Amino acid sequence: MAPHHAHITVLPLDLLIYIIDRVPEPADRKSIRLVSRAFHRAECLQRRDLNVIRREALGMLIRCYGAIESLDLSACAGLDDACLSTALGGGAAPGLRKVNLSRASGVRWSGLAAMVRGCPRIESVDLSHCVGVGDREVAVLAMLAGLKELRLDKCLGVSDVGLAKVAVGCPGLEKLRIKWCLEISDLGIKLLANKCQNLKFLDISYLLVTNKSLHSISTLGRLEVLKMVGCYYITDDGLNYLKNEKNCNTLLSVDVSRCHNVSAFGLVSIIEGHKSLRKLKASDCYVDLPLNCLSKLGMLTNGFHTLKVDGSEVSEPRLKIIGANCKGLTKIGLGKCKGVTDENISELVSNCADLKTIDLTCCHDVTDDSLIAIANSCKKLESLLLESCSLITDEGLVYIGTCCPNLQEVDLTDCDLDDSALESLSRCSELMKLKLGLCPSITDDGLDYIAKCEKLQELDLYRCTGIGDDGLAALAYGCKKIRKLNLCYCTRISDQGMKYVSCLPELKDLELRGLTQVTSLGIVAIAFGCKNLTELDLKRCSAVDDLGFLGLARYAINLRQINISYCNISEQVLIRLLWNLRCLQDVKLVHLTHVRKEGFMLALRSCLDKLKKLKLPTILKDAISPALIQILQDKGCRIRWVDKPIPFYMKDSPPSSPDP
């Protein structure tokens, strides 16, 4: 080690930086950084982005990596104002451009104010899902004169006043998401459109705004993307306002999904008004697509590539017209559409050879003939969603497997396929995401085939009761890249299978609901093996006892979400678990029959400052002191109370929360 070390230190800093630039993988960078101080120094200077998981480290890391431009604090447990202001308030990261504070529910205006003081060059802020954020927080952000991108999804406290602050303070704003900010009204949107003429991206989904807002929005001359999902008060007239000379050539993408008061006439005015449109999403609008509306699609330029009309009526000859008019289509969404038949599909795909994504979710009439037509026409296919298309068989999938080498995502949930179908799919070497839920006919042999897809990252085997430990062995051997694995209710799986799963080094998200054969040994193996595990679901794993949870507390220190409802965990171990898991943010604790209410209170106190989400049974609502609940909520934790009866098989266990 010593000679290598000496050798590296000889290199000048800029060369070291040059080397580090060539290392893309975070894990490899970590290795390099651990090898030598010189590399560590070089990385401190070179590194531009930082993702902090624990708040204790935040201050130190910011001081270390002063050159960062992008900071992700969305997973930082227990982040609060004091922490944020000590870390960023002193100007330790003056070059910071982008901050992600999504779900950082403990952060309020004072922390943000310190951040704004310390990093005045911030251009992008993400505060999405910080439900406690209101006008005051947004007003602080409005002091960033150079702000270009702001995400405020589900910041429930933000009203027109906050929006006005941003509109006035950040005239250069280009991207704004205010989805679910239900307090915002037409007035705010009007002012926004008045002040922020550079807006390119605007998401007003689920706002209670009316056509007046669209009238204001139509004055935005540079708007490219407009999302208005679930805006119930918007009608065809409003979409007609958008037909404006000012933005007729700029608007590229419009999403009017779930706008129940929009009809085909509204879609026609969008299509007529914006020739350069590329994406049109109108899912669940209950639109009966008239033929003249579809033929209007031909007026659009060749750039039009995405059409999503889930839930619409697309019977003969609508898909044919779509195919004839939109030859450049790459994505089509027909989920739950009525009237989708094999003939329709083949007429559509015969014209659209460039299709990469086809969503046929719940198109129950689709058979192998469709798959054959798709396979013959769409050689570039990347994503095929066939959930609940129960008529398809392995014969169709053979064609898909052989003709579509680029396939990356397949959803076969509830298609009741068997192993031979997986054999066909195993030829798709690019496959990254595979959903096979509710296919009980799949056995370990099928997983053997899947194991050939080395790039697989997500695998869903929900209620595939046919699989056992051997299948998991094959998976663990072949698919080392798996990050997300769902094994819920695959009841044949035992500890041995868990040991195989623990060999998946990249695993981040593991769901093991209802695996009654898995004991503490299996869980400890997982905790020890999967160092990257951040989400774990152990609901109804009744064979796991304290030992397993102590193993988790000891080794699975990166866990952020855990579900241990209906588990046999004792009071002391629960406290230990919640205390030790330092990144823990989301806990579900329904019906822990061995834990008294005092135990719950102690456990909650032990993780008081890091929780963001908590699920508890309603029985505890009165037992837990209201002050404790108040503190939890003040620190940004959302508590969901679940009112479900205790299942009969748990009633034999010791009394749940006896009154003292």
Partner 1 sequence: MDLKKRGLSESSPLKASSSALMAPPESSSPSNLNLNPNPNISFTTTQFGPSNLCFETRTNQSFHVYQPNLGIQSLQSYHDIKKKDQQQVLDWDPRVMLNNLSFLEQKIHQVQEVVRSMIGREGSQFAAQQQLVTADLTSIIIQLISTAGTLLPSFKNSSLPNNNGSLIGSDIPSSDSTKASEYEELIKGLSSAGDEGDDLMKYVNACGGEGADSVLAEDDAVDGDNLPPGSYEVLQLEKEEILAPHTHFCLICGKGFKRDANLRMHMRGHGDEYKTPAALAKPSKEISSEPVPIKRYSCPFNGCKRNKEHKKFQPLKTILCVKNHYKRSHCDKSYTCSRCNRKKFSVIADLKTHEKHCGRDKWLCSCGTTFSRKDKLFGHVALFQGHTPALPPVDDTKVSVVLDQVQNNDLMNGGSIGFNFGSASDDVGLLDIKGDDDDRGFFSPMNFDSCNFGSLDDFSRPSFEVPESSFSILPGSYNYVNRNGS
Q: What's the min distance (Å) between Cβ of 646 and partner 1?
A: 24
**In terms of CB distance, is 321 or 607 closer to partner 1?**
607
Tokens representing residue 231 in the block:
């805006």
Instruction: Name the minimum Å distance from CB 139 to partner 1.
Output: 6
- Residue nearer to partner 1 on the CB measure, 76 or 264: 76
Enter the tokens of residue 80. Answer: 């609060």
Tell me the Ramachandran region of residue 463: left when phi exceeds 0, alpha when psi lies from -120 to 50, beta otherwise. Answer: left
Category of 416 on φ-ψ map: left (φ > 0), alpha (ψ -120 to 50) or beta: left
Cα–Cα distance for residue pair 332/45, rounded to 1 Å:
45
Euclidean distance between CA atoms 588 and 152, whole angstroms: 26
Tokens of 433: 């995401």
Element containing residue 613 per DSSP (H, E): strand 613-617
Q: How far apart are CA 460 and CA 533, in angstroms?
A: 17
Q: Which residue number, 81 or 495, has a Cβ lying nearer to partner 1?
A: 81
Would you say 26 or 505 has its CB closer to partner 1? Answer: 26
Q: How far is the CB of 57 from partner 1 (least distance, A)?
A: 6
Assigned token pair, 604? 């909650």
Compare residues 190 and 435 and give the one whose CB is closer to partner 1: 190
Residue with tokens 């019906």: 591
**Which lies closer to partner 1 via its Cβ, residue 623 or residue 642?**
623
Tally the residues of the chain: 660
User: Smallest gap, in angstroms, from Cβ of residue 337 to partner 1?
Assistant: 42
In the complex, least distance from residue 605 CB atom to partner 1, rounded to whole angstroms: 7
Is the C-alpha dihedral spanning 478, 480, 485, 491 positive or negative? Answer: positive
Which residue's structure tokens are 């998946």? 504
In sequence order, which residues have a C-beta less than 8 Å from that of residue 241 and are 6 or more positions away?
A: 211, 214, 215, 218
- In the bound state with partner 1, the residue whose beta carbon lies nearer, of 54 and 380, is 54
Of 161 and 650, which CB lies nearer to partner 1 in the complex structure?
161
CB 470 within 8 A of CB 494: no
Q: DSSP string covering 199-255, please? A: --EEE-TT----HHHHHHHTT-TT--EEE-TT-TT--HHHHHHT--GGGTTT--EEE
φ, ψ at 228 (rounded to 5°): -140, 60
For the packed helices 55-64 and 81-88, what is the interaxial angle rounded to 10 degrees?
10
At closest approach, how far in Å is the CB of 80 from partner 1? 6
Least separation, in Å, of the C-beta of 653 and partner 1? 21
Residues that bind partner 1 (CB under 8 A): 26-27, 29-30, 33-34, 37, 40, 50-57, 59-61, 63-64, 80-83, 86, 135-136, 139, 142, 160-161, 164-165, 168-169, 187-188, 190-191, 194-195, 547, 550-551, 553-554, 557-558, 572, 576, 579-580, 582, 598, 601-602, 605-606, 608-609, 625, 627-628, 630-631, 634
Cα→Cα distances 401→374, 424, 447, 468, Å: 11, 5, 16, 25
**Structure-token pair, residue 488:** 């819920």
Note whether 570 and 546 are within 8 A (CB): yes
Nearer to partner 1, 240 or 580 (CB): 580
Minimal distance in Å, beta carbon 628 to partner 1? 7
Contact 219, 196 (CB under 8 A): no
H-state helical runs in 119-169: 135-141, 160-169
Of residues 11 and 602, the one with the C-beta less far from partner 1: 602
Beta-bridge mates of residue 641:
616
Least Å distance, CB 297 to partner 1, is: 37
**Closest approach of partner 1 to the CB of residue 220, in Å:** 15
Given the complex with partner 1, which of 460 and 609 has the nearer CB atom? 609
Q: Which is nearer to partner 1, 77 or 282 (CB)?
A: 77
Give the nearest distance from C-beta 72 to partner 1 in angstroms.
Answer: 9
Alpha helices per DSSP H over 556-651: 571-580, 597-606, 620-623, 626-634
Q: How far is the CB of 548 from partner 1 (least distance, A)?
A: 12
Rounded to the nearest whole angstrom, what is the least distance from the CB of residue 604 to partner 1 in the complex? 11
Give whichever of 85 and 257 is closer to partner 1, judged by the CB atom. Answer: 85
